[in-house]
Chain A
Amino acid sequence: MQELAILGIVVIVALAFDFTNGFHDTANAMAPSVATGALRPKPAVALSATLNLIGAFLSIEVARTVGSGIVDLAGVDGERLMLIVLCGLTGAIVWNVLTWLFGLPSSSSHALFGGLIGATIAALGVTGVLWGGVAQKILIPALLAPVIAGLVAFCGTWLVQRATANLSERGEQRGFRWGQIGAASLMSLAHGTNDAQKTMGVIFLALVAHGSLDPDAEMPIWVRVVCAVAIAAGTYMGGWRVIRTLGKGIVDISPRQGMSADFSSASIILTSSHLGLPLSTTHVASGSVIGSGLARTDAKVRWSVARRMLVAWLITLPAAGAIGALCFLIAGLFGHLWGSIVVTALLIGACLTMWLRSRLSHVGHHNVTDEWEQPKKERKRTIDRELSAVASGVAPLSRPRKRKKRSRRDQGGVA
């Protein structure tokens, strides 16, 4: 009975991770189309959600590779194994929501692997992690994914620019709009084939640990359905903060660029899904956007934003791992069942806090396409407003202060 309760908690938290994966990664497919105005924000996320749902049913190659070859959980008893998975998922969710709060497109896959590695180290020590597998399946692909995507997008954008150098602006807007919508759709489909699989793999692992499934069994259909629905629902929510950074922050995207970036990302992710190579869709999409920006001579890549993103990529694995390990240590104080309940309660509390914090500077479908670099005066006003909001905690936003000219009478203190 206790095992079943822990399994239930693990499945629910896994679906919550799938949901955050969806809303965090909507940007990967739709940011260029939303930024160029090829699609309006709401229809964009609706289209992406539908195609993620379909994509989740197309392939299960990646699901087979999640966890295998990265952590050695053989010989760990059922409840303890499920607790490791739960703490790993908690680390991944907290990191996903935190990076969303800062509008940083970081990898959900790395957060998941980091969380699992951290929880495994806390439970079994460093010998529980297969470091060769970590290098082969996580670190090397993480280094290569943005480079390959950038190279492909650079070639694509360069060729397209040369082929359509004399095209009128109207022709570009009209002609490339449909190409961009098609490429973004392909990218959403590719995302569904890749990312929904990761949660399927985690739930499969928990079911095997519980003893409900044989390790060689086929993926149950209910697992595929609930994972597909969770990632589609998350995608429909739209992680507007990340969409804004990827679509407007790194480089000002033109329709030609957006189409090339999306085709580059989609082809790389579909191929890696087919080969069972767990590439991060975020690294691929970001690499494509930067590569397509470099191919244009009339657009500058904002390296300060790219640097922030790179730092987030570098610390994703250790940060999610540290949270996963901490959760396992906390859970250890309460026993398996109560430990699971406490960790889940902490997770809910952390997510709620970050969501409330996000309301102070709300980014939604209404302002996602606003210019990244505001005029100086307006930017100063925004900073003033945000500072006063932070300083006053939960107090309502005050109007921007205006420096008043004090009259001589005021200065002299005469009423």
Chain B
Amino acid sequence: MGFDVGALGIAIASVLGVGLLLGAGIPLVYALGIRSLESERPGSTVVGGALLGLCVLLALAGIVVIVFGKQLFGI
């Protein structure tokens, strides 16, 4: 049984990269959305709603790419 350090390294780097992008990115976008909704500036409700919608889209896109990526995009 060979020990494929390269493949393991790539897998770990991918997990860390996607984790930081989605795992830390989506909560940040959501938090910005909540802050906008709380704010009393004009138009902040629309911005807040858009940011929360973006979170939902990002989460759905993440699921689609991760689960169906091979069939749909070959990744």
Contacts and interface: CB of A to CB of B under 8 A. Distances in A.
Interface stretch (A82-90, A255-263, A335-343, A370-378): A255-263
Contacts of A266: 23
Contacts of A268: 15, 18-19, 23
B53 interface: no
Given A132-B3, A133-B1, A270-B63, A164 B22 contact: no
A175 B19 contact: no
B62 A270 contact: yes
B3 A136 contact: yes
Contacts of A172: 34
Interface residues of B, number: 35
A152 B14 contact: no
Interface in B1-47: 1-4, 8, 11-12, 14-16, 18-24, 26-28, 30-32, 34-35, 37-38
Given A136-B8, A148-B15, A160 B31 contact: yes
Does more than half of chain A's interface fall in helix, strand or loop, or is it mixed? Answer: helix
Nearest to A145: B15
A228 to B, nearest CB: 15
Does more than half of chain B's interface fall in helix, strand or loop, or is it mixed? Answer: helix
Contact of A159 (B31, B35, B67): B31
B11 A267 contact: no
Contacts of B2: 132
B19 A149 contact: yes
B59 interface: yes
Contacts of A272: 11, 15
A264 B24 contact: yes
A157 B30 CA distance: 12
Contacts of B69: 274
B66 interface: yes
B24 A159 contact: yes
B1 A171 contact: no
Nearest to A158: B24
Contact of A163 (B31, B62, B66): B31
5 contacts: A156-B28, A157-B27, A167-B35, A260-B23, A275-B14
Interface of B: 1-4, 8, 11-12, 14-16, 18-24, 26-28, 30-32, 34-35, 37-38, 55-56, 59, 62-63, 66-67, 69
* 7 A-B pairs with least C-beta separation: A267-B23, A175-B34, A156-B24, A132-B1, A264-B23, A130-B1, A267-B22
Interface of A: 58-59, 69, 130-133, 135-136, 140, 144, 148-149, 151-153, 155-157, 159-160, 163-164, 166-168, 171-172, 175-176, 179, 182-183, 186, 189, 193, 256, 259-260, 263-268, 270-275, 277, 279
